[in-house]
Amino acid sequence: MSEEPVTPAGVPAAEIEIDAGLVRALLLAQHPDLAALPLRLTAIGWDNMTYRLGERLAVRLPRIRAGAELLRHEQRWLPVLAGRLPVPVPVPERLGAPHGEVFPWPWSVVPWIPGRSAEHAPPAPAQAAAFGRFLAALHRPAPVDFPRNDWRGIALADASGRVEELFQALAGEVPAAVREHWREALSAAPAPLTTCVHGDLHPKNVVVDDGRLAAVLDWGDMTAGDPAIDLAAAWMLFPVRSHTDIWAAYGGVPAATTARAKGWTVFFGLTLLDAGLAGDRPFEQIGRATLTRLLTS
């Protein structure tokens, strides 16, 4: 059996202690037919923790207060989005409610999707068109009550302050040409922030099984925003030679959108590299690979 994950460096401390005993108590109280299934901690993220439940399910629980609202977004909107998306997403099969003083937030029982994260098992280049179709299906006008995220549902220019901080913090780690891509992206025409986007589409949130896109996870940051933020995933997931297949399957990408996507690629590449150098080493590799692809495109 693989070792249990540890809290990654830089991730805030949990605001409530979560262990298998707590998870089992929640199941006994609210979904007793599932309570006897084996439990194993499989992931600790910034906002949530995940326990595998038996062979085909998982329990997803917020570990900080902010994560509770993001999980509510998943409970509300993943059932709506799933019907139009050609790649599976973890639609909750059971909903969990706050449980007195034991656990103050909502939680979900979701399907366990076999495979490995794209961080460890990148999708085959032949999956580029499938990824483009996924983005095209997702990127439709956002309903008026769709979530709004102040970190990801923003114009690229509004990320300038954070990007400049990262350029300074990573001086000596990032080729000068990356800054040129950033300047060009800022000069591109902005987009209305009215499209359904995932908002956090990096390799750890993509599941791959035998080279095939098996699922897209972690939808808490979904928001009405600029589709370019998701198109940046092309540089995080696929070799540059496959990008034309993504754009074609997407239905074509205007030059201004491509430029902004490169800007969001700078944002993600720097953010991941910074997290990696702070101690979460897998992110360092993702960040460097992302920026390298950007410079060869």
pLDDT of amino acid 9: 64
CA distances (Å), origin 209, targets 115, 203, 282:
4, 13, 19
- Adjacent-strand bridge partners of 94: 109
Claim to verify: residue 71 and residue 174 sit in the same structural domain: no
| Rounded-to-integer distance, Cα 199 and Cα 152, Å | 6
Q: Is the pTM of this model over 0.85?
A: yes
| Rounded-to-integer distance, Cα 29 and Cα 52, Å | 18
Claim to verify: residue 58 and residue 183 sit in the same structural domain: no
Claim to verify: residue 56 and residue 183 sit in the same structural domain: no
**Average pLDDT, integer, range 51-72:** 97
> Any residues with CB less than 8 A from the CB of 84 and at least 6 apart, and which?
137, 138, 140
Claim to verify: residue 24 and residue 62 sit in the same structural domain: yes
Claim to verify: residue 65 and residue 130 sit in the same structural domain: no
Q: What share of the chain has pLDDT > 70, as a percent?
A: 98
Q: CATH no. for residue 234?
A: 3.90.1200.10
- Chain segment 78-101, per-residue pLDDT in tens: 999 999 999 999 999 999 999 998
Which 3 state secondary structure label does DSSP give 143? coil
Instruction: Specify if 13 maps to a domain.
Output: no
**Residue that terminates a domain, selected from 82, 112, 142:** 112
Instruction: Specify if 78 maps to a domain.
Output: yes
Number of domains, the chain = 2
pLDDT of amino acid 10: 66
First to last CA, the chain: 41
CB atoms within 10 A of CB 24: 18
Q: How confident is the model at residue 3 (pLDDT cuts 50, 70, 90)?
A: low
Claim to verify: residue 99 and residue 147 sit in the same structural domain: no
Claim to verify: residue 284 and residue 174 sit in the same structural domain: yes
Instruction: Specify if 246 maps to a domain.
Output: yes
The answer to whether the CB of 225 falls within 8 A of the CB of 256 is no
Structure tokens of 185? 């992206």
Claim to verify: residue 159 and residue 102 sit in the same structural domain: no
Structure tokens of 180? 């040129």
pLDDT of amino acid 1: 41
Q: CATH no. for residue 38?
A: 3.30.200.20
pLDDT of amino acid 96: 98
Instruction: Specify if 287 maps to a domain.
Output: yes
- Chain segment 138-194, per-residue pLDDT in tens: 999 999 999 999 999 999 999 999 999 999 999 999 999 999 999 999 999 999 999
| Rounded-to-integer distance, Cα 45 and Cα 275, Å | 13
Structural domain that includes position 51:
20-112
